[in-house]
A = this chain, B = another copy of it.
Amino acid sequence: MERYIRTDLAVELQEEISEKSLLQGVEIYTRYSKDKKIKETKIDVVDEQGAKILGKPIGTYITLESGELRGSDEDIHKPLVDMLHKNLKELIKENDKILVVGLGNREVTPDALGPYVVDNLYITRHLLSEGIIVNAREISAISPGVMAQTGIETGTILKALCKETNPDIIIAVDALAAREPTRLNSTIQLCDTGISPGAGVGNNRAVLNEETLGVKVIAVGVPTVISVPAIINQAIDNMLTVFSENGKNLSEGLTEEEKYSIATQLIEPDLAKMFVTPKNIDEAVKRISYTISEAINKFLELY
C-alpha cells in the first residue's frame, strides 16, 4: 500500500476518520480569519497512538488553506505570506542558519515547486562569509534534482552538504499529493517531522528528518497533484453510493485503506505510478512558489 499515496495532507487523513472521538493522541485546532480568507488548521500528533491512527509521525502539522489561492486575487498574497512567515518563525530559532532545499524536478511542472522557490530566494551565506553584508540571517539553498537526474539519493546529497556547511535548520520545500481536487494549489502544509522527497509524484524516497540528516527539517509542502488511486477510489465510492440507494452500501464498513487497496487492484500498475494535475498547473506553481519564497525572504527583514 505504501507505494500508493492516499494523501500527504494530515488535514485530509483526519477527515477520513469519521468519528472524531476515535482520534486519540491527536489534537486539532482550527482558526478561520474571515477577512483574510485563510483557514489555519493545527494538528498535533502527541503520542504513538495518535501517530498510528493518523499514519503520520509525532509532531505538528499546520495547514493554511485559501480558495483564493487558486484564483489570481492578489489581495490574498500578502496576508498569506505573513501568516506563513509567522508559522515558520515559531518553528525556527532567532539565529538559526537556514538551508532551504528545493525538492523535486524542475522539468516537470507540478513537481517544480521546490526549485522555483529556491530560484526566488535572497541567498546571504556567501555575502556574510565574504563580509559583503553583516547582521543578516544566514540563508543558503540548493535544488539537488531528483534521483533520475543525479543517480544519487537526495538524502545522501543533503547529509553530505549538512556535514560541510553546518546549517541549524533545513526548510525543505516539495510538491505534495492531495485527495480533494479543491485543495490542489490552494493549501500549504508545514510540519516539523521531515519529508519524503517526491511524495507528490509518487516516489517514496528515504525520509529527510533530524534522524537521517542530523539537522531539524521543517517541511513546507503544497499539493499540486492527486494520485490516480485517490481518484479511482472516489469514483468507486460515488458509484457504490448509487447502488447502495436501492439496497446495501457495498462499501459499508470498509476502511479508507481497504477501499484504496480495492482501487489499486482495479488499475494497471502503470497507472498507479502516474499523477493527476490540472491544466493551469504552470500558473498555479509559479504563483504559490512566489508566496513561499516571500515568506522565507522575510527572515532577512528581522535585522
**A interface residues with partner B (beta carbon < 8 Å):** 72, 105, 107-109, 111, 118-119, 122-127, 138-145, 147-153, 156-157, 159-161, 163-165, 181-182, 201-203, 226, 228, 231-232, 234-236, 238-239, 263, 266-268, 270-271, 273-283, 286
Provide the residues of chain B in CB contact with A278, threshold 8 Å: 270, 273-274
Other A-B pairs beyond A156-B164, A228-B276, 16, CB < 8 Å: A107-B119, A109-B109, A123-B150, A142-B145, A143-B145, A152-B161, A156-B165, A160-B165, A181-B274, A226-B271, A231-B231, A231-B271, A235-B263, A270-B278, A271-B276, A274-B279
Instruction: Judge whether B140 and A124 touch: CB under 8 Å.
Output: no
Listed from nearest, the 6 A-B pairs whose CB atoms lie closest are A125-B151, A107-B282, A140-B151, A160-B160, A123-B151, A181-B270
Give Cα A283–Cα B119 distance, bound, in whole angstroms. Answer: 9
- A179 CB to closest chain B CB, in angstroms? 11
User: Contact partner of A160 among B109, B149, B164, B182, CB < 8 A?
Assistant: B164
Known: A231-B228, A278-B273. A150 touches B160 (CB 8 A): no
Instruction: Judge whether B279 and A203 touch: CB under 8 Å.
Output: yes
Instruction: Judge whether A126 and B142 touch: CB under 8 Å.
Output: no
Instruction: Judge whether B277 and A149 touch: CB under 8 Å.
Output: no
Provide the residues of chain B in CB contact with A140, threshold 8 Å: 150-152
A270 to chain B: closest residue by CB: B181
A267 to chain B: closest residue by CB: B235
- A200 CB to closest chain B CB, in angstroms? 10
- A228 CB to closest chain B CB, in angstroms? 6
Known: A163-B160, A268-B181, A279-B203. A274 touches B151 (CB 8 A): no
- A105 CB to closest chain B CB, in angstroms? 6
Instruction: Judge whether B181 and A152 touch: CB under 8 Å.
Output: no
21 A-B contacts, Cβ less than 8 Å apart?
A107-B119, A108-B109, A125-B150, A126-B150, A140-B151, A142-B152, A143-B145, A148-B280, A156-B164, A156-B165, A161-B161, A181-B270, A181-B274, A201-B279, A203-B279, A235-B235, A235-B263, A235-B267, A238-B267, A273-B279, A277-B277
